[in-house]
Amino acid sequence: MFIVNVEGAIYRGGEWLLIRRSEKEEHAGGALSLVGGKCEKEGTTSDILERTLLREIYEEVGIEVTIQQYVNSSSFITDAGQHVVDIVFLCRHKSGEPYAKSIDEVDEVLWMTTNEIMDHSHLPGFIKKNIELASLLLKERF
C-alpha cells in the first residue's frame, strides 16, 4: 500500500512558501520542501486530499490558504522504504504569517521567488519541477 501525501505550492506576492524540515523528521530531515503531510484513515469521506492539505498547512506553519487547483503527482520511496504517492496543489495565501508552528516538523519557513528556487543548488529537481508547473498554472489563471 501507498502512503498518500499532499503538498501545497503556496503563493503570495511573487514568492513561494518553503519550509526547512525539522532535523527530527524521519524522512528528509533538514531538507527544504513544500508544506504538507500524510492523509489519515477516515473511512468513507469526501475531499480528503483538500482537507488534509488545509489541516497540515495550518498545523505546520499556522496559515490559511485557498486551494486553487491540482499541479502534479509523483511517487517516491522514503529512506525507510515506504512507498508514497505525492499530490501537489497550487494554493494562494489567505491569512496569517507563517512560522515554524510544529517544531517537530518544521525548523524554518522561507519565502522564495521562482528564480531563487530554480537557482538554488540544494533544492531537489522535483521541487523545482512542481514550482515551475505551479508558476505556469498561475500565469494561465491571471
Check if the beta carbon of residue 20 is closer than 8 Å to that of residue 41. Answer: no
Domains of the chain and CATH, by start: 3-141 (3.90.79.10)
Distant-in-sequence, close-in-space partners of 140: CB < 8 Å, separation ≥ 6: none
**pLDDT tens figures, 44-57:** 889 999 999 999 99
Percent of the chain whose pLDDT exceeds 70 = 94
**pLDDT tens figures, 70-85:** 999 999 998 889 999 9
Asked whether residue 105 carries a pLDDT value surpassing 90, the answer given is no
* DSSP 3-state of 31: coil
The whole model's pTM is what? 0.91
* Spatial distance between the Cα atoms of 24 and 30, rounded to a whole number of angstroms: 8
Q: What is the pLDDT of residue 79?
A: 82
